[in-house]
Chain A
């Protein structure tokens, strides 16, 4: 257990450093985007007849740092806020905290993207095993081709196709929005039914778009394991089919776990195309809108959430790996 604690503390230290680096870089980049809205706001207030020091205070109250302060003081103010878990105020939606905006967008991202990721992972991994075992047969070929094809088609094309099919040609599902507004939010059947209806197409699109990658990755991983000596050895020892299958699957799925953990971290970035197509108010849409509006605080906050999510997912993947792979558990180089 001591090794786990040591591992974890090392990870946390590295993770924090990583988050700090990303925060700093994104702070600098955002500050250097042409069209500074803080200055703009400050100057607008002065134009409206406010005294400079008053305008400065008003802007400072709004943004959490002095608009006329040096880059360094803005940076330290920003970091100071972060340490107190204060992401600041949104500029494009005055009076609303960045954390609130991100929180409400996150729920529209996490569930559909999580659903889509897990669905495509399970589907892709299971079919990938068949594609590898039957790789010289017609079924294997068909599966591999379906994987390559879907892997090659961009998300937004799949999204548009899916929309065209299920909302126009065969209109059985709503075209956009997260939920019908006529239902009372809460734990009641019509509301949940409406949620599920609206989530179906985004989830389907996401699953179709990522399924190809999983099936191809799993196929090649299984093919590699099938060529390993210990599988032939297990066969020659007369192990039952089920046991043999578990030997193959468990060994083949190892490399995919890392990718899965990383893509779960990435899901906080939202699926920008999908959310745009389905008008789904998730994190991806929030990020795009914040960039358009030069909403520094919101941009910074969204980047930060994505960074933290990826760092956490990395740590989780590493710890999980130690559970499923004894070679890593031993603390060796592998």
Chain B
């Protein structure tokens, strides 16, 4: 258990389409994203930007009517999970990649105690020492501030929302998966519980040497725990780089807008400026050109016709026609 192997993840040209009456529409359009081994990467974006679809793709678990049309998701030690299926895929899920469900509050079978579901999990992955598994589970729950023995003996309806969410996190970590995907792990939790859970996620991440992906729409969460941050819009990663740099010096006009829209705890609420307009949905996504142009203050002619390709400079990747003009030479040097 002390052996630590944090896998790197490389998502390449990932296109996920959903079948609709209007034909197959892309929820992800050629997404590329690299998770460095041992880091915590955050993905932020508005609802419908494709965050959860991307997270599910890491387990090759895009739900019908959606499907992965092209692209690859390479995970060190597992290969391209897009090509896995059947038994191979099942063994990867849970054992190699832990997943904390977006609706973690409803992620338990209502008819069985948490303990029995833990045993189902252990048996499904041929865990030899089930007693040790229960011990680990109890310890994890204890660290998250719960009475492990009592929780394992409880049914879902006997636990509060926050408790269920922590049970979901426990189930994702207990098999020692080295890649953990958390889809909005702290949504619907109060601030204190949220802080506790984030602390635990970070502690466990460092202790076990994991590679962690956190999906969130909360910039505060992203700022607090992530090493690197990807911003998604309209099924594309529009900006990706070290968290402090992305938040401190956002380059993509969408990232800049997002950050301006955050109300400060102290200061005038009017300083927070909402981004005008609405994010595109599957149906309203422009077929060509930049998906953000309708809301963009830096819109140019080229934006109407050409979808900007992600350009990587140093550690930062940005997909915007305007950014090349913005970035001044000394700044570029800074990241070179």
Contact = CB atoms under 8 A, between A and B. Distances in A.
B63 A232 contact: yes
Contacts of B124: 237-240, 243
Contacts of B90: 238-241
A317 to B, nearest CB: 17
A240 B158 CA distance: 26
A141 interface: no
Contacts of A166: none
A303 to B, nearest CB: 38
B117 to A, nearest CB: 8
A233 B110 contact: no
Interface residues of B, number: 32
A126 interface: no
Contact of B95 (A229, A238, A250): A238
Given A243-B120, A243-B124, A330-B158, A236 B59 contact: yes
A240 B99 contact: no
A330 B157 contact: yes
Interface in B66-117: 90-95, 99, 101, 103-104, 106-113
Given A250-B111, A324-B111, 11 more contacts: A229-B107, A230-B108, A235-B93, A236-B59, A236-B94, A236-B99, A238-B92, A238-B94, A326-B157, A327-B110, A327-B155
A115 to B, nearest CB: 29
Contact of B157 (A237, A324, A334): A334
A237 B111 contact: no
B94 A230 contact: no
Nearest to B117: A234
Contact of B109 (A230, A238, A332): A230
Contact of B155 (A243, A324, A326): A326
A239 B157 contact: no
B246 interface: no
A240 B92 CA distance: 12
Interface residues of A, number: 24
Given A237-B121, A238-B124, A325-B111, A229 B93 contact: no
Contacts of A36: none
A248 to B, nearest CB: 10
B199 interface: no
30 contacts: A229-B101, A230-B106, A230-B107, A230-B108, A233-B101, A233-B104, A234-B109, A236-B61, A236-B99, A237-B94, A237-B99, A237-B172, A238-B91, A238-B92, A238-B94, A239-B94, A239-B120, A240-B123, A243-B120, A243-B124, A247-B112, A251-B110, A324-B111, A326-B155, A327-B110, A327-B157, A330-B155, A330-B157, A332-B157, A334-B157
A237 B93 contact: yes
Contact of A229 (B91, B106, B157): B106
A247 B92 CA distance: 20
A326 B104 CA distance: 20
B208 interface: no
Interface in A310-324: 324
B17 to A, nearest CB: 17
Contact of B125 (A234, A235, A238, A251): A238
A228 interface: yes
B121 A239 contact: yes
A324 B94 CA distance: 28
A240 B172 CA distance: 16
Contacts of A334: 157
Q: For the complex, would chain A's binding face be called helix, strand, loop or mixed by DSSP majority? A: helix
A230 B121 CA distance: 13
A65 to B, nearest CB: 52
B231 interface: no
A253 to B, nearest CB: 10
B29 interface: no
B152 to A, nearest CB: 14
Interface string A212-230: 0000000000000000111
A84 B157 CA distance: 46
Nearest to A327: B157
B36 to A, nearest CB: 24
B50 interface: no
Candidate in A228, A233, A251 with the most chain B CB atoms within 10 angstroms: A233
Nearest to B106: A229
Nearest to B99: A236
The 4 closest A-B pairs by CB, nearest first: A238-B94, A233-B107, A238-B93, A237-B94
A263 B195 CA distance: 53
A325 B99 CA distance: 27
B171 interface: yes
A228 B61 contact: no
Interface in A148-179: none
Contacts of B106: 228-230, 233
Contact of A247 (B91, B94, B109, B172): B109
A323 B120 CA distance: 21
B148 interface: no
B209 interface: no
B235 interface: no
B168 interface: yes
A123 B94 CA distance: 34
B334 to A, nearest CB: 41
A149 B124 CA distance: 40
Contacts of A330: 155, 157-158
Contacts of A250: 111
Nearest to B64: A136
A3 to B, nearest CB: 15
Interface string B169-186: 001100000000000000
Contacts of A233: 101, 103-104, 106-108, 168
B124 to A, nearest CB: 4
A221 B108 CA distance: 18
A175 to B, nearest CB: 47
Given A239-B124, A326-B155, A232 B101 contact: yes
Interface in B261-291: none
Interface string B123-135: 1110000000000
